[in-house]
Structure 1
Amino acid sequence: MRPAAVFTGLAGMAVVAGLLISAEARLRGGTGGEDMITAEAPATDTAAQTAPEAAGLSTPISDADAEIIARGAQPAAPSPAPAERVAATPADPPPPSETPGGQAAGPAAKKPIELARPVAENAGVLSFGERRLQLAGIGPTPADRICGPAGRQWPCGMLAKTALRQLLRNRNLTCDLDMAEWKGTVTAACRLGAQDLGTWLAENGWTEAEAGSPLGAVADKAKQAQKGIYGGDPRRK
């Protein structure tokens, strides 16, 4: 054989071998790249899953769950204010009416009223036409009352009435009343000038004091002194 032909054959075989080696290397390189990609894929997915958690992000929730959580987070309703609790209790009685000066208005205060031409019906009751007025603090002595022991009785009620008439002598009185006009019978304190009529009758023993009356001590003193109805017939003295 010729040397040139041998050389050409060897060169061709070397080229073919190089191509085969290169192809095998390429094939091996592609498989390794796929393995690297396959090996890195899970790491990438895991990082993608854990990244939100590492960043502090929570998994999205539904609107219904969000509303339930929001209701649970709302503060409790405050208890009723004192004014509301008072409104729920039974209504208090209305306060007393007040005068323009700010003071509570009580019953109408009595005022001194002048009364003309009183007539003594007995020792304690005066008449003004069809109206009657009983003097305060005393028990009237009936005009038909009889005093004294048997055999020495005397018309003490009539004499007591006469004594009051002589004191009045048809003069005007000042009496403490709610109003100048009234119907029926009223009870009031009356004065002739500065003299209280009830006190005068009790001091002279012409009437008894009512229970609990401030004139009780005055009437007891007259009784001890045997004045008026507590004594004898003054006509015999």
Structure 2
Amino acid sequence: MRAPDLVIAILVIVGCALVAAFLQQREVREGMAVAVDGDTLDMGGTRIRLAGIDAPELRQECTRERRPWPCGLAARSALARLAEQGQVRCAGRQTDPYGRLVAQCSVGDIDLSDFMVREGFALAYRGRDYAGAEAEAQASRRGIWAGTFQKPADFRADHPVLH
């Protein structure tokens, strides 16, 4: 291999490594956060959507013991209690159609998405990362699993002006 070809090959490899590093870079936010609903936080004016979950909408009701239960408000309250325990750290690299950062968030060692699903206040989004936590909540009949509910995505489709 000639020297100029070697230099070009090295530059291409370095360039690819830099592009890969840039694409893997995550936006990190830390601070006090307020629960907007069961899967959205507000951190200093920035809206952050918890990755991997879908919680009942704020005005959504579920049923427990054949009675309406404000599961959307309960989900927000659960997330609010957890967020109030200390600094929230969120890391993500994409935004959703509403302009919110989609991120993995935690308070100390507690993964907020895992907590919300495990306690029955949210569903694992498309059954991926938190499927085990969802199965545990369902088996234990926690939160929304204690009665009947409409999936949040179906509720949004049926009630476009309520969310």
TM-score by length of 2: 0.69
* 1:193 corresponding residue in structure 2: 108
AA at the equivalent of 2:123: E
AA at the equivalent of 1:105: V
What secondary structure, in the 3-state scheme, does the structure 1 residue paired with 2:116 have? helix
Choose the corresponding residue for 2:57, options 129, 142, 156.
142
1:40-68 deviation digits (Å, cap 9, x = unpaired): xxxxxxxxxxxxxxxxxxxxxxxxxxxxx
1:144-172 deviation digits (Å, cap 9, x = unpaired): 11111685111111111111111111632
1:10-33 deviation digits (Å, cap 9, x = unpaired): xxxxxxxxxxxxxxxxxxxxxxxx
AA at the equivalent of 1:113: V
Structure 1 runs not aligned, ≥5 long: 1-95, 233-237
Between the aligned partners of 1:191 and 1:185, the Cα distance in structure 2 is 17
What secondary structure, in the 3-state scheme, does the structure 2 residue paired with 1:148 have? strand
**Percent of aligned pairs with the same residue?**
25
Conserved? CA contact 2:28–2:91, under 8 Å: yes
The structure with the largest strand share of the pair is 2
Conserved? CA contact 1:116–1:172, under 8 Å: yes
Q: Structure 1 segments of 4 or more deviating over 6 A? A: none
Q: RCO (CA 8 Å, sep 6+): is it higher in 1 or 2? A: 2
AA at the equivalent of 2:111: D
Conserved? CA contact 1:98–1:105, under 8 Å: no
TM-score by length of 1: 0.49
* 2:80 corresponding residue in structure 1: 165
Aligned ranges for residues 1-237 of structure 1 at < 5 Å? 97-99=12-14, 103=17, 105-106=19-20, 107-111=22-26, 113-148=28-63, 151-169=66-84, 171-178=86-93, 184-231=99-146
Change (3 A) 1:128 1:99: same
1:187-217 deviation digits (Å, cap 9, x = unpaired): 1101111111000111101101111412112
The worse-fitting range, judged by mean Cα deviation, of 215-224 and 198-207 is: 215-224
Change (3 A) 1:186 1:177: same
Structure 2 runs not aligned, ≥5 long: 1-10, 148-163
**Displacement of 1:224:** 1.9
Q: Give the alignment's Cα RMSD to 1 decimal.
A: 3.1
Between the aligned partners of 2:118 and 2:51, the Cα distance in structure 1 is 14
Length, aligned pairs only: 135
